[in-house]
Every structure is written in C-alpha cells, then in structure tokens.
Amino acid sequence: MKKSKFISIILVLCVIVSCVFALTACLDSDDGGEFDPETARIALLVNGTLGDKSFFDSANEGLQKIKAAYPNTTVKAIEMGTDSTKFRNFVDDACEEYDIIIMGTWQMYNHMAYATVEYPDKKFILFDYAGDFSDGKGANNLYSIEFKQNQVAFLGGVLAAQIANDPSLPLSNGSKQLGFIGGADSPIIKDFLVGFIEGVHYADPNFDASKPANDPANANKITVQSSFIGTFLDPTRAKDQANILYDRGCDLVFAAASQAGLGALDAAVDNNKYYLACDSDQIRLFADQPAKQRYIVGSVLKKVDVALFRAFEKIVNDEMQWGTNERVGFDEDCIGFIGYNSDIPQNMIDFVEETEAKLRAGQITVTTAIGSGAEMSIVDGIIAAAK
C-alpha cells in the first residue's frame, strides 16, 4: 500500500512538472518572451529600398550572413519605401511576427523608441544612431550601434588628396579641387565630411597644419567643396549636384548619400572624372558594369553587415548588454577602406595603408561630429575653411 501511494505521488509530481514546462514553453513562444537565438525570427526594416549598392544593401548582407551561419534562423528584409506615414504599421507588423527587429538611421529612432516600450518582450538593434537610454526606454531590449566613420573617411581623404595633386593620372587634372555630397546636413554625414577634409589636409604637401586652413599660408591647399542635397533616395539630385562640382573643376567627388550616391557616380562617368564610393565595395558590386566601375577609385566602408552579424553573435553567446550603445571602428572590423582603381599607383596605396596603421595605433586623432566629444562649431569651422 505504501509503495502504491509513493508511486502515485511520484506520478502526480511528474504531471505537475510537465505542466509547468509546457506552460513556460507556451508563454515563451506565443507571447514573444524568451527565444532560442539560433532559431530566431529576424526582421530588417529598411526605410527606403534595397539596391542602393551602399548602406541598406550592406545591412541586408549582414542579415544574409546571419542566415548562412545559423541556417535555422528566419530572416527577412522588409522594404518600407519612402512614405514615412506608413512606417509605424510596418513596425507593428514586424513586432508581431519576429523576435529580433533591426532598424537603422536617425529617421527610425522614434519608431524604435515606441517599439521598445510597446513590445517589451522583443529585442531590437538600432544601427547608425545612438539610443537614448536616459528615460529607461530600451534598457532591457535595445542595443544601438554607431560607427567611427570619421576615421575611415580620413583614409578616403588621404587617397583623394594624392589624386588631386597628381595630373599624371588618367582622369585627374591635378586641379587641387575635391567635392563632397552628403545625403543630409546631419551629424553623421558631417562626421564623414570632417574626417575626409582632415585626411585631405594630412596628405596635402601644401597644407601647413600649424596654421588655420583659411590662413594665407594655406592659400595653395587642396579645397573641398561640399553640398548637402537633403535626400538619400534621389540619384537625380545627387547627379545634378555632382555635375556642378565637376564643372567647377573637381577631379573627384565623394558621396555619402546611400542610393542617391549612384547619381553622383553617373555624373563621374559623364564628366570622365573619379568617384569615391561609400558604405559598400562598389568596385566589386559594379564588376559586371566596367563602364561605371572604371571611375570608382575605392570605397569608404561603414561595415553595417559586420556590425549586425557581430551584434547577433553577442546574442547567441549571451554576451549582449541590452540598454547600451557601442561606437565601433577599426578594432571591431566595422569600418575600412577597400578596393583600388587600377589607375592608383602603389605608392599612393602604401601611404593610405601606412596612415591606417597610425589611426589604428592612436597616433592620429580625427575630429568627430558625433558623440559626447563633438563640438559642432569646430566641425562647421573646418568644413567652411576647407572650401
């Protein structure tokens, strides 16, 4: 009798334990709680479209890297288009269906902040903008990523200055004039620009760094003419502005303008001048279009793909610190200069690589337009004096 009673008690306990595990599993899967990262459902919300051969395509490559390394995950890039009034609906739909939601740029921050509160059991990654955790929003479910694009743009400036000083290159007149096109007058784009300008000054033998850029002693410096076109999506507007810069004598234009930058490349082709690409390896991406590839001198990379894959691996390895912002650069392999036009001689490449080594070693300090150390009056002064 005692034995039968003991067995009955054991059976009851087993049933109770089984019910507890079943209930937990139901809560986890149906209510969006804990999930297994290696089988996670991941959505990338693109506030625009893919096909820019730049910023958003790089983010999508990150998504594909996750899928390749973790084949049991479900990944989807959702193109929201350009009508921002519809973005909130896309966000809600993604939060209902996916475990991890990825968004990028300052344009999406308000939507991200809303989602972290409305969907506390979901996880969020924001790239190319810093989350504000001061009010507690996102403390348990948001990780944000910024990039040290000023440092890699510095390398672009080093190469561009050498090109602008060398009339022996096939598409350079040695005009000592360079152009920059930004998709927006924003701190992130100015971070590109100020880094580019300082790289130009660093490599310009006619620039005296001990004196202000607008000092008479620097009258023969390489100039950088800049323009912000107010869009990342309109290649026609970027092409029109690039045509103006080339008409003014610029030997090279650097565009940090996502999809709009493709118009600047078209202008380079039309004007038979050099173009410096941004965010993706456009020499590789245009391999099937040699008539365009020929004008690309290289690419200033903000490696969104690497940053997103790195973030996901933090989740998989239980190393993610939610409620934090991280600014990534060379050390994390999240920025870099890649690809060289066949016109570029080895001595120029060597100088860029030597400069990169100094940046990595902390021997060169580059002014920044973002973060706690940013002084926008100084940044704006550098931009104005470079013209």
Task: For 266-305, write each residue's pLDDT tens digit.
Answer: 999 999 999 999 988 999 999 999 999 999 999 999 999 9
Strands of the sheet with 324-328, listed across from one edge: 74-79, 41-46, 100-104, 123-127, 142-147, 324-328
- Per-residue pLDDT tens over the stretch 87-134: 999 999 999 999 999 999 999 999 999 999 999 999 999 999 999 888
* Count of all residues that appear for the chain in the document: 387
Class of domain 149-295+341-385: alpha beta
Which residues on adjacent β-strands are paired with residue 146? 327
- Position 375 scores a pLDDT of 87
User: Residue 45 pLDDT more than 80?
Assistant: yes
Domain ranges within the chain, ordered by starting residue: 37-147, 149-295+341-385
% pLDDT > 90, the chain:
85
Position 162 confidence tier, pLDDT thresholds 50, 70, 90? very high
Q: Global pTM?
A: 0.88
Rg (CA), the chain: 25
Per DSSP, the three-state class of 209 is coil
- Residue 377 CB contacts under 8 Å (≥ 6 apart), including other chains: none
Residue 135 pLDDT greater than 90, yes or no: no
* Contact between 264 and 233 (Cβ < 8 Å): no
Six-digit token pair at 365? 């300090």
Long-range (24+ apart) CB contacts under 8 A made by 69-75 are 69/309, 70/37, 70/38, 70/312, 70/316, 72/38, 72/39, 73/37, 73/38, 73/39, 73/40, 73/41, 73/42, 74/39, 74/40, 74/41, 74/42, 74/98, 75/42, 75/43, 75/44
Tell me the mean pLDDT in the region 38-57.
94
Produce one character per residue of 301-325: b if its CB has 16 or more CB atoms within 10 Å, e if not. bbbbbbbbbbbbbbbbeeebebbeb
CA distance 384 to 387: 6
Nearest Cα to Cα of residue 74 among 54, 99, 110: 99
Do the domains 149-295+341-385 and 37-147 match in fold?
Answer: yes
Q: Do 303 and 282 contact (CB within 8 A), yes or no? A: no
145 has a pLDDT exceeding 60: yes
- Average pLDDT over every residue of 70-75: 97
User: 202 pLDDT band (50/70/90 cuts)?
Assistant: very high
CATH number given to 37-147: 3.40.50.2300
pLDDT tens digits, one per residue of 209-268: 999 999 999 999 999 999 999 999 999 999 999 999 999 999 999 999 999 999 999 999
Q: Could you give the 3-state DSSP secondary structure of residue 256?
A: strand
Q: What is the pLDDT of residue 27?
A: 33
253, 196 Cβ separation under 8 angstroms: no
Tally of CA atoms within 13 A in the half-sphere of 340 that contains its CB: 16
Confidence (pLDDT) at 25: 37
